[in-house]
Structure 1
């Protein structure tokens, strides 16, 4: 069975949104707000925190009008542009296409939360001693994974271009 390129994009974006929204629904329903419980010792913990800003809470203290513009309108416009670009650019390699689909799916999931709830539910925290993360969610993980895939694809193509030059 050969799934069309556009169908693949749509399915991957929807899968990213669905996994994120299901995980946040579960956390909101079962994990007490601001609580912390161990998943893997102190290395990976489950928390329930509402983030009314963006990455690491940045922008949470903006006035409501500026927050609407910076955290909802601009990200929505960028996500729509990237989605349009993905459908229009027919020569994009599969790795980049997968990466952009993850970025768009994760981005839409977080924008959806900001629009519906006024904040984003974050719930995962990693502390390996020498490295600690902020509290994040699966949409954040999707965006990060997508960016890594896009970078990897770019580096692969740059290496090929340098070899053939």
Structure 2
């Protein structure tokens, strides 16, 4: 029996090779949340800079604590959404060529963030947040590494759709017409 690379579930010609990025971000996310739980009491804050603190907070809802006081059912809703989105992102990684590094990186970042937050929801019933910015005129809601990954990945997807997606489609059409 030969070991053919194309038989491997993580084929080097697809975006699945970018799962390494998801794994690294997921490890950093879970490790920083672990340190937060171990080193701080709930709502305890440690000043790093005058505008930045490590503050242990729990988010029972979604972004900006949306549905945070809904009574517990939201944990299952948000977990289900995270699983569906994760499945779709894995599909996108599998069907996107490895050479499309920008989009594969974006998908991998969103995937790691979704998985990082769903792990918290399933283990604790809430998401562990700890990055706390107070700019004086505005205090941003406390967030975590998974949220950063989701934000950056989503921003990359938006940037791609605004500036490069149409150009890619045109190139595909021209390549088709040249055949």
TM range (shorter): 0.7 to 0.9
The answer as to 2:39 corresponding to 1:33 is no
> Unpaired segments of 5 or more residues in structure 1?
none
Could you say which residue in structure 2 is the equivalent of 1:61?
A: 69
The answer as to 2:19 corresponding to 1:10 is yes
Q: What RMSD over aligned residues (CA atoms) do the two structures have, in Å?
A: 2.6
Secondary structure (helix, strand or coil) at the match of 1:22 reads helix
Distance (Å, rounded) in 2 between the aligned partners of 1:146 and 1:91: 17
Q: CA deviation at 1:158?
A: 4.9
Q: CA deviation at 1:89?
A: 2.9
Cα separation, partners in 2 of 1:142 and 1:47, compared to 1, 3 Å:
same
The answer as to 2:71 corresponding to 1:98 is no
For normalisation by structure 2, the TM-score amounts to 0.79
For normalisation by structure 1, the TM-score amounts to 0.85
Could you say which residue in structure 1 is the equivalent of 2:93?
A: 86
For the pair shown, the structure with the greater C-alpha radius of gyration is 2
> Unpaired segments of 5 or more residues in structure 2?
1-10, 172-179
The answer as to 2:118 corresponding to 1:111 is yes
Could you say which residue in structure 1 is the equivalent of 2:127?
A: 120
The answer to which of 53-62 and 150-159 deviates more is 150-159
Aligned length: 161
